[in-house]
């Protein structure tokens, strides 16, 4: 029986493990990816101050601390079921069963698809897949590609592909369908971009300021959007063009694109064939919550957090005794916020295992304050209403604990 | 594209790719080389191979989609074990990898696809209509 098992060796899981090890708890961290770091590994962007956020270096720093504290990190281990017992949790994995008193689920996020016809062809991949191939495995995903889906994530990763010398034709919307709905709507996409632009790094900031924040200007911007797109780092971004179909027999050979109305309807007779050998689909991120659900944790739907999230408080406790959550499973935010949340979770767990130690209590307060500071200062913000979303989850936690 | 062109050897921010041990493996009977630290999927892509399996029924080509283990599109057979995710499996020297093939018994639905309910509400409605039809008879 371990004191704590942490599922997910990303920024949240690793920072929580470090805090637990500092209090000498018996910790096991598991992750199904072959190396620790989670999706932090692939991240590479320039902060507004010009400094590079290099996910590999950030991971190395966390790993160094974890290793110095003799943390047991097991990669290639997939958790597929959780049982709650009277005094802890049983975690079923491909390497057998693990048991612990406390459980932290820090599984991060998954990518939503914005599928277009032909998307099952080899050479079509999620934008995150391209990021991992490029920055972690150092393999080019192709010679020339197109990005389907215009949002903060796809813009950041497009830049990463460019840095690796990969040629991008452009970034545009998916064609409208019942499953692509809001990703295919020029006005909604533009609203989303402008609302976050002031927080985002360099070139994205310029993209946002091209269109002032007032609604009528945004409306005009969509109405009279330049046919050649608006260039970011030399690559055209289109909100009035969409990828209609992906072609190829054994792998991607080309796409058909067309112009769309401000509401995302195809304009007939504007089809154009573009030769590409890869396509990245970017439908945004949602919290990866299945394990919290099978454990029996209650959920709250909060749009600004990316979907259904496990109910939790600012100490990262869920209404289930001994179950904690941290990182993107609690809502889509930057890796810095995830890392800060991990510290809170680690300290909360330490305090509960060690039976109320004053010193830890002080640390928890500081760590919670640090999460708020980090959130405020975040240069990549996925949703403008994040604070309201967090407040909604906090209320849900109070409701759940009162009714129990 | 050659093996070398697929690798990102130099990177303006991440720097040069560090020296990695070379590993030899086979995919569908052909011999390839990859690096220590590769997954099966990254080693194959570095060799220009994108198709990892075919749809079990239709035989249409499939490759990686999410590359982090969520979508299960990259299922291959590794050293005789089927259904292994190529994107999560570290490459090992001497590995024998084969692509996923069509299944001998197609999983054909006996129903007309257009007749199937698309939502739970539709399912209930159809069931009720069916029950009403039964009681009439």
**HEC secondary structure over A254-317:** EEEEEEECCCCCECCCCCEEEECCEEEECCCEEECCHHHHHHCCCEEEEHHHCEEEECCCCCCE
Question: Given an 8 Å threshold on Cβ–Cβ distance, is B51 in contact with A251?
Answer: yes
Domain termination site, one of A220, A253, A281: A281
Is A50 an interface residue toward B (CB < 8 Å)? no
Confidence band for B118, pLDDT divided at 50, 70 and 90: confident
Q: Do A100 and A180 share a domain, yes or no? A: no
Question: Given an 8 Å threshold on Cβ–Cβ distance, is B63 in contact with A125?
Answer: yes
User: Given this model, what pLDDT does residue B33 score?
Assistant: 97
Is B44 an interface residue toward A (CB < 8 Å)? no
For A81-92, how does the pLDDT look when each residue is reduced to its tens digit (9 = 90+)?
Answer: 999 999 999 999
User: Given this model, what pLDDT does residue A204 score?
Assistant: 54
3-class secondary structure per residue, A155-218: HHHHHHHHHCCCEEEEEEEECCCCCCHHHHCHHHHHHHHHHHHCCCCHHHHHHHHHCCCCHHHH
Q: Do A121 and A34 share a domain, yes or no? A: no
Residue numbers in B near A110 (CB within 8 A): 66, 70
Domain termination site, one of A281, A305, A325: A281
For this complex, say whether ipTM is above 0.90.
yes
Q: Do A79 and A11 share a domain, yes or no? A: yes
Domain termination site, one of A281, A300, A320: A281
With beta carbons less than 8 A apart as the criterion, state whether A260 and A242 touch.
Answer: yes
Q: Token pair of A358, please?
A: 């004053």
Residue numbers in A near B11 (CB within 8 A): 138, 163-164
**How far is the alpha carbon of A127 from chain B, nearest alpha carbon, in Å?**
8
Q: Which residues of B67-79 are buried (b: 16+ CB within 10 A; e: fewer)?
A: bbbbbebbbbbbe
User: Given this model, what pLDDT does residue B77 score?
Assistant: 97
Residue numbers in A near B14 (CB within 8 A): 44, 54, 56, 135
Residue numbers in B near A125 (CB within 8 A): 63-67
CATH of the domain at A247: 3.50.50.60
What's the number of domains chain A is made of? 2
Q: Look at residue B78 and tell me whether its pLDDT is greater than 90.
A: yes
Q: Do A237 and A169 share a domain, yes or no? A: yes
On the CB side of B107, CA atoms within 13 Å amount to 6
Q: Do A122 and A71 share a domain, yes or no? A: no
Q: Do A97 and A241 share a domain, yes or no? A: no
Question: Given an 8 Å threshold on Cβ–Cβ distance, is B38 in contact with A137?
Answer: yes
CATH number of B3-99: 3.10.20.440
Is A44 an interface residue toward B (CB < 8 Å)? yes
- Residue A318 is part of which domain span? 2-110+285-403
Q: Do A71 and A146 share a domain, yes or no? A: no
With beta carbons less than 8 A apart as the criterion, state whether A338 and A12 touch.
Answer: yes
Q: Which residues contact B33 (CB under 8 A, 6 or more apart)?
A: B3, B22, B23, B24, B25, B43, B47
User: Given this model, what pLDDT does residue A176 score?
Assistant: 96
Nearest to B14 among A44, A121, A288 (CB): A44
Number of H helices, E strands in chain A: 11, 21
Question: Given an 8 Å threshold on Cβ–Cβ distance, is A134 in contact with B52?
Answer: no
Question: Given an 8 Å threshold on Cβ–Cβ distance, is B69 in contact with A132?
Answer: no
Contact pairs from chain A to chain B, CB under 8 Å:
104
User: Given this model, what pLDDT does residue B60 score?
Assistant: 95
Cα-Cα-Cα-Cα dihedral sign, residues B62, B95, B40, A247: negative
∠ Cα A94 B33 B83 (to 5°): 30
Is B107 an interface residue toward A (CB < 8 Å)? no
**How far is the alpha carbon of B111 from chain A, nearest alpha carbon, in Å?**
23
User: Given this model, what pLDDT does residue B71 score?
Assistant: 95
Which segments of chain A have a pLDDT < 70?
A: 195-217, 356, 379-381, 404
Q: Do A262 and A293 share a domain, yes or no? A: no
Q: From CA A138, how far away is CA A136, in angstroms rounded?
A: 6
**Residue A371 in 3-state DSSP?**
helix
Q: Do A96 and A26 share a domain, yes or no? A: yes
Helix, strand, coil content of chain B in percent (nearest 5): 25, 25, 55
For B5-21, how does the pLDDT look when each residue is reduced to its tens digit (9 = 90+)?
Answer: 799 999 999 999 988 89
Question: Given an 8 Å threshold on Cβ–Cβ distance, is A122 in contact with B61?
Answer: yes
- DSSP β-bridge partners for residue A113: none
User: Given this model, what pLDDT does residue A221 score?
Assistant: 78
Question: Given an 8 Å threshold on Cβ–Cβ distance, is B7 in contact with A138?
Answer: yes
User: Given this model, what pLDDT does residue A130 score?
Assistant: 98
User: Given this model, what pLDDT does residue B107 score?
Assistant: 58
User: Given this model, what pLDDT does residue B137 score?
Assistant: 43
Q: Do A133 and A100 share a domain, yes or no? A: no
Residue numbers in B near A141 (CB within 8 A): 45
Residue numbers in A near B17 (CB within 8 A): 138
A133: nearest CA in chain B? B42
Nearest to A164 among B8, B61, B69 (CB): B8
Is B48 an interface residue toward A (CB < 8 Å)? no
Pairing relationship of beta strands A272-275 and A2-7 according to DSSP bridges: unpaired
The pTM (predicted TM-score) of the whole model is: 0.90
Question: Given an 8 Å threshold on Cβ–Cβ distance, is B6 in contact with A140?
Answer: yes
A53: nearest CA in chain B? B13
Residue numbers in A near B46 (CB within 8 A): 137, 139
Q: Do A23 and A37 share a domain, yes or no? A: yes
Is A137 an interface residue toward B (CB < 8 Å)? yes
Residue where the block lists tokens 């500071």: A373
Is A111 an interface residue toward B (CB < 8 Å)? yes
Is B6 an interface residue toward A (CB < 8 Å)? yes
Q: Do A166 and A222 share a domain, yes or no? A: yes
């Amino acid at each position: 029986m371990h004191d704590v098992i942490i599922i997910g060796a990303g920024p949240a899981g690793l920072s929580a493990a470090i805090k637990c090890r500092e209090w000498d708890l018996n910790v096991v961290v598991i992750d199904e990816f072959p190396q620790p770091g989670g999706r932090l590994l692939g991240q590479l962007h320039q902060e507004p101050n010009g400094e590079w956020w290099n996910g590999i270096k950030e991971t190395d720093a966390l790993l160094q601390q974890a290793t110095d504290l003799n943390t047991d990190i097991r990669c290639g281990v997939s958790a597929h079921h959780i049982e709650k017992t009277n005094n802890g949790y049983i975690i079923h994995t491909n390497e057998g069963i693990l048991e612990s008193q406390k459980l932290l689920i820090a599984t991060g996020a998954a990518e939503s698809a914005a599928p277009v016809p032909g998307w099952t062809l080899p050479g079509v991949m999620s934008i995150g897949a391209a990021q991992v191939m490029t920055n972690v495995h150092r393999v080019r995903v192709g010679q020339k590609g197109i990005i389907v889906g215009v949002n903060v994530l796809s813009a950041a990763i497009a830049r990463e592909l460019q840095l690796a010398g990969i040629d991008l034709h452009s970034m545009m919307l998916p064609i409208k369908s019942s499953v692509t709905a809001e990703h295919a709507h020029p006005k909604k996409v533009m609203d989303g971009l402008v609302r976050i632009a002031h927080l985002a790094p360099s070139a994205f900031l310029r993209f946002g300021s091209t269109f002032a924040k007032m609604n009528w200007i945004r409306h005009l911007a969509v109405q009279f959007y330049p046919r050649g797109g608006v260039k970011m780092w030399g690559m055209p971004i289109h909100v009035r063009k969409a990828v209609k179909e992906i072609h190829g027999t054994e792998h991607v050979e080309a796409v058909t694109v067309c112009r769309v109305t401000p509401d995302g309807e195809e304009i007939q007779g504007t089809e154009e064939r573009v030769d590409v050998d890869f396509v990245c689909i970017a439908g945004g991120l949602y919290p990866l919550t299945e394990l919290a659900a099978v454990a029996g944790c209650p959920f709250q739907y909060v749009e600004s957090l990316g979907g259904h999230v496990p109910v939790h408080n600012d100490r990262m406790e869920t209404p289930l005794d001994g179950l904690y959550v941290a990182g993107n499973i609690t809502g889509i935010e930057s890796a810095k916020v995830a890392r800060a949340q991990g510290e809170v979770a680690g300290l909360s767990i330490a305090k509960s295992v060690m039976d109320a130690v004053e010193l830890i209590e002080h640390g928890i307060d500081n760590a919670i304050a640090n999460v708020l500071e980090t959130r405020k200062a975040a240069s990549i913000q996925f949703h403008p209403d994040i604070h309201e979303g967090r407040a909604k989850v906090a209320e849900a936690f109070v409701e759940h604990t009162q009714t129990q | 594209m050659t093996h070398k062109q697929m690798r990102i050897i130099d990177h303006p921010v991440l720097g040069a790719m560090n020296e990695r041990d070379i590993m030899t493996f086979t995919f569908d009977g052909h011999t390839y080389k990859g690096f220590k630290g590769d997954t099966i999927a990254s080693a194959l892509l570095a060799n220009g191979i994108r198709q990892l399996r075919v749809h079990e029924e239709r035989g249409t080509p499939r490759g990686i989609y999410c590359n982090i283990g969520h979508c299960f599109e990259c299922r291959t057979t590794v050293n005789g074990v089927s259904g292994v995710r190529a994107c999560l499996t570290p490459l090992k020297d001497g590995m024998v990898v084969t692509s996923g093939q069509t299944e001998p018994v197609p999983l054909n639905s006996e129903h007309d696809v257009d007749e199937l309910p698309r939502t739970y509400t539709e399912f209930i409605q159809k069931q009720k209509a069916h029950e009403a039809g039964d009681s009439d008879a």
